[in-house]
Amino acid sequence: MRLPLAFAVALPLLMSCGSDPEPEKRVFPNVNTAAFGGSPEAGAWTGSALAALDAHGTPLVDSVPADIGTYCPAYASADAGARKAFWVTFLSALSKHESTWREDVSGGGGAWHGLLQISPGTARGYGCVAQNAGDLRDGALNLSCGIRIMAVTVPRDGVISAGMRGVAADWGPFHQASKRSDIQAMTRQSAACRG
């Protein structure tokens, strides 16, 4: 009798071995599923960007830049969720040209760091949580810092990149027509920008 009882107790334990639960898939409505080049960190980066847009990025979401039509024709009439989706796609497109979607890179001889290639001095100047090279190589902190910077420069200048102001005042890819056009094409193709 002991064998069947032991088997009955052990069977459920054996069946559970090696069967990890499916990881929860996070869904972000209106956000391009290919954001951040399909990086394994894309979901976490998207989540942190959305959280930053809900916090210190609110001025960015509330603004309607004069040149928004070249990036997202549906933006002016979009709700807050679609606007946030645009900014996540925009950050992804910019980070493609700054870091090829790699959070651990440094450029400019070690002057700029992470997804958006931000310098520690700039990060400190804007009051970012990430204020040193190591922190700026954390994708979530880097994106949060980028949003903090853009939430000042875009409303201040009233544009994303026209006249090399707004985001273009701090990020080099906008100074090259081909990269600027690629960023515009990536954002225009997103569901949030098609209406």
In the structure, what pLDDT confidence band is assigned to residue 191 with cuts at 50, 70 and 90? Answer: confident
Give dist(CA 141, CA 157) in Å, integer. Answer: 24
Residue 100, classified by CB atoms within 10 Å of its CB into exposed (0-12), middle (13-18) or buried (19+), is: exposed
Residue keyed to tokens 């054996």:
14
In the structure, what pLDDT confidence band is assigned to residue 35 with cuts at 50, 70 and 90? Answer: confident
pLDDT of res. 194: 85
Mean predicted lDDT score pLDDT of the chain: 87
pLDDT of res. 192: 87
Q: Does domain 42-194 have CATH number 1.20.1280?
A: no
User: Would you give the DSSP letter of residue 4?
Assistant: H
pLDDT of res. 56: 98
In the structure, what pLDDT confidence band is assigned to residue 59 with cuts at 50, 70 and 90? Answer: very high
Q: Sketch the domain layout of the chain as residue ranges.
A: 42-194
**What percentage of the chain exceeds 90 in pLDDT?**
78
pLDDT of res. 62: 98
In the structure, what pLDDT confidence band is assigned to residue 149 with cuts at 50, 70 and 90? Answer: very high
Residue 39, beta-bridge partner list: none
Query: Whole-model pTM?
Result: 0.84
- The string over 76-89, giving b where at least 16 C-beta atoms fall within 10 Å of a residue's C-beta and e elsewhere, is eebeeebbbbbbbb
The stretch 171-178 carries a mean pLDDT of 97
pLDDT of res. 34: 59
Contact predicate 74/192, CB 8 Å: yes
Spell out the alpha helix ranges (H) of the chain. 2-16, 42-54, 58-62, 80-99, 120-125, 133-136, 139-157, 177-188, 191-194
Which tokens go with 50? 């959305």
pLDDT of res. 9: 44
